[in-house]
Structure 1
């Protein structure tokens, strides 16, 4: 794995005389990066596990831009509209003549951002290292196009009038796997439920619209931006919202859980994430509770399901996905 800390360290050393002792802003801060040269910086981050880690090492973590800063670093995301919006917001949050650094890997599109920014600003420096680039500019005259970039961070309507944001999962359309799961959910689901990894709220909202037996459903989501959209999308007092890592969620026991668990945080498949969701679901359900989940067909979750539940049933399969219903968590029965 590329060591992006070297790239950042070299860039900060190159600008050492202009790096403030305080007042730095790090946008989309990473939990494995070394920001020690930036002192007591303020971070902008939306993924709850990363926020928790940043706070553990003594950094302040926010979800919105709230202050004027004397230095800013933007770690780009894989979403170009989101990254451009964050660059514009960081620019606006800087005092005049302060440095704005933009860092990222080639696979995340850093070359494209460098090309775009070069047309608008003087590039003060560039360092290529560890399969990526970091470059920096100084705040000067504000190009009008930054208004469009900022607007690109606002919620937009997609099909069925759902609102989403750039950078969140399935931002441009209703996820096919979630749509398949919804078609398979029984009409008799009732009681207290949870939606683990709820995203922008599609599954929960559709379920609440058609089922008055549900007393409440807790949407558990680690992405603050996605959960913000879920709150915009659901107008039902039975919906509860919790910004947390689903595998760390602790609450009352649930009668049912629905989920379309993530299977990667980078570009590489990570089936252990889905397995941890299954284990967590078994611990959160009542002894007679049931899990309804959808997953990519090739992901081998069956062994974990059999370990955690007394009954596991394949409901349907397509060339891409599979829907599974698991009943009666073993941990509850044999406790």
Structure 2
């Protein structure tokens, strides 16, 4: 089922405000999400870009042409589905300005709660907009790609890659790209003694926890990183070169083939705005399956999330080992 933002994005085609690209042309869709249906008359070959593994897999299953990064240029049109990350939205629009042929349309849409109005104002200050339409609790706006590249350069300059604590290379759009999140820091400070053997970092992000493991436990046999965000995993390759393996994987939807002595995890607890404990439950179950008999899971979670019962059902023993005013660290043995 299409989200409201997806429906907002395609609304200008459906009401005739914007012509759909013709057969024989190519269109780029940045931030593509599954569930959309192309409007009547949209005959261009659509190239979807999606780095979040679950969405990527769903688009593939729907028969879409999808890649984790944009490629090529000379597109007749670009679609940009804006999300909650302002910097990522602006980088995507810069990408569209660089890859669409001069004069081609760039259509952007997003939800009002995600800041689409301020994004519209920002872009209109760089390239005059052709028009805008509100619909489905969001706004769609569009522009024509100018001849020059000044607007794209300004958007990229305003959203540069980051260097966290003079060590970790990150970029807008990644989880906690400009600082170490408090949950990961608490977990890193309370890793139990004795981590050894073959270790996996589930939901590894850009590699902060994995780097801490290699710093503190240099004699482990191997360290594998699993992450659903393609760009975050690419950053982790740079940030943790000592790691053994890097897996762009949907841990809920794709099985882990290797078996480990330890799994370290800071799982996401929401995909939208509301907490979704089901995500954590399924990740705990995935960790239990990936551990050898006697293997251990150490994880951090928001204090209010009821993971203790889930751990009791999936592990032989579990306990809380640390907490602060927001998070708790949990240790379990299979």
TM-score, scaled relative to structure 1:
0.92
* Map 1:6-21 → 2, pairs under 5 A: 6-13=7-14, 14-15=16-17, 17-21=19-23
Aligned counterparts of 1:94 and 1:62: Cα–Cα separation in 2: 17
Aligned counterparts of 2:54 and 2:210: Cα–Cα separation in 1: 23
Aligned counterpart, 1:331: none
Distance 1:182 1:9, change over 3 A: closer
Aligned counterpart, 1:185: 191
Q: Using the TM superposition, give the Cα deviation of residue 67 of structure 1 relative to its aligned residue in structure 2, in angstroms.
A: 1.5
Which of 193-202 and 149-158 deviates more? 149-158
Aligned counterpart, 2:32: 29
* Map 1:112-127 → 2, pairs under 5 A: 112-127=118-133
Q: Using the TM superposition, give the Cα deviation of residue 149 of structure 1 relative to its aligned residue in structure 2, in angstroms.
A: 1.6
* Map 1:1-335 → 2, pairs under 5 A: 3-13=4-14, 14-15=16-17, 17-21=19-23, 22-35=25-38, 37=40, 38-39=42-43, 40-68=45-73, 69-142=75-148, 144-151=150-157, 154-236=160-242, 238-247=243-252, 248-328=254-334
Q: CA RMSD in A?
A: 1.8
Q: Using the TM superposition, give the Cα deviation of residue 153 of structure 1 relative to its aligned residue in structure 2, in angstroms.
A: 5.6
Q: Using the TM superposition, give the Cα deviation of residue 20 of structure 1 relative to its aligned residue in structure 2, in angstroms.
A: 2.4
Aligned counterparts of 2:10 and 2:183: Cα–Cα separation in 1: 42
Which runs of at least 4 in structure 1 moved beyond 6 Å after TM superposition? none
| Contact residue 19 and residue 71 of structure 1 kept, 8 A | yes
Q: Using the TM superposition, give the Cα deviation of residue 70 of structure 1 relative to its aligned residue in structure 2, in angstroms.
A: 0.6
Q: Using the TM superposition, give the Cα deviation of residue 265 of structure 1 relative to its aligned residue in structure 2, in angstroms.
A: 1.1
Distance 1:289 1:76, change over 3 A: same
Q: Using the TM superposition, give the Cα deviation of residue 132 of structure 1 relative to its aligned residue in structure 2, in angstroms.
A: 0.4
Aligned counterparts of 2:198 and 2:13: Cα–Cα separation in 1: 51
Secondary structure of the residue that 1:134 maps to in structure 2? strand
Q: Using the TM superposition, give the Cα deviation of residue 76 of structure 1 relative to its aligned residue in structure 2, in angstroms.
A: 1.1
Aligned counterparts of 1:9 and 1:156: Cα–Cα separation in 2: 33
State how many pairs are aligned.
Answer: 327
Aligned counterparts of 1:306 and 1:113: Cα–Cα separation in 2: 46
* Stretches of structure 2 lacking an aligned partner (at least 5 in a row): none
| Contact residue 85 and residue 151 of structure 1 kept, 8 A | no
Aligned counterparts of 2:306 and 2:284: Cα–Cα separation in 1: 12
Aligned counterparts of 1:153 and 1:232: Cα–Cα separation in 2: 20
Partner deviation per Cα, 1:105-159 (whole Å, 9 max, x = no partner)? 0111110111122223332221101110001111224362421322456532121
Aligned counterparts of 1:71 and 1:18: Cα–Cα separation in 2: 9
Distance 1:168 1:73, change over 3 A: same
